[in-house]
Amino acid sequence: MSSTGWILTLISAGIAVAANLFLRIGVDKAGGFGGQMNDILVSFINLLRQPTFDCGIVLYGFATLVWIRIISIEPLSVAYPILVSITFLLVTLGSAFLLKETVTVSKIIGLLLIISGIVVLSHN
């Protein structure tokens, strides 16, 4: 992958991770999501009233625009696994630091395997 592709992939992954974290925080602030079918509509309206959730949606839009640029210049079969791998790594770290989620030994091993995969893919 070209250096431009790498930079854009890191940007897209970073924006997508921020979007996920904002969405999660927004869901928590709204009191969750779901339940019975009639509760889903009420939950969705509550979510849309959360600025944090709205910010997550907007960030996802920006991440998508960057992603479209990436797949216009890089092979999808290379760019997509790299994007997903980087995103998985960053979500795990962000969730641990910002949401106080637990990072287990199995997650660490999985992350190391993912990083190994990124290294292999980048030498395509």
- Residue 26, burial from CB neighbour count under 10 angstroms (0-12, 13-18, 19+): buried
18-38 pLDDT per residue, tens: 999 999 999 988 888 877 666
44-87 pLDDT per residue, tens: 888 889 999 999 999 999 999 999 999 999 999 889 988 998 99
- What is the pTM (predicted TM-score) of this model? 0.84
Q: How far apart are CA 119 and CA 124, in angstroms?
A: 9
SS3 44: helix
Q: Identify the pLDDT of residue 42.
A: 81
Domain housing 100: 3-122
Residue 109 and residue 39 in contact, taking contact as beta carbons nearer than 8 Å? no
Q: Identify the pLDDT of residue 104.
A: 93
Asked if pLDDT for residue 14 goes beyond 90, the answer is yes
DSSP H helices in 49-75: 51-73
Token digits of residue 59:
């960030």
Asked if pLDDT for residue 121 goes beyond 80, the answer is no
Token digits of residue 47:
């979510």
Provide the CA 28 distance to its chain's centre, in angstroms: 17
- Residue 118, burial from CB neighbour count under 10 angstroms (0-12, 13-18, 19+): middle
Distances (CA, A) of 57 to 2, 93, 96, 108, 109: 29, 21, 22, 29, 31
Q: Count of domains in the chain?
A: 1
92-104 pLDDT per residue, tens: 999 999 999 999 9
Model confidence band, residue 17 (pLDDT cutoffs 50, 70, 90): very high
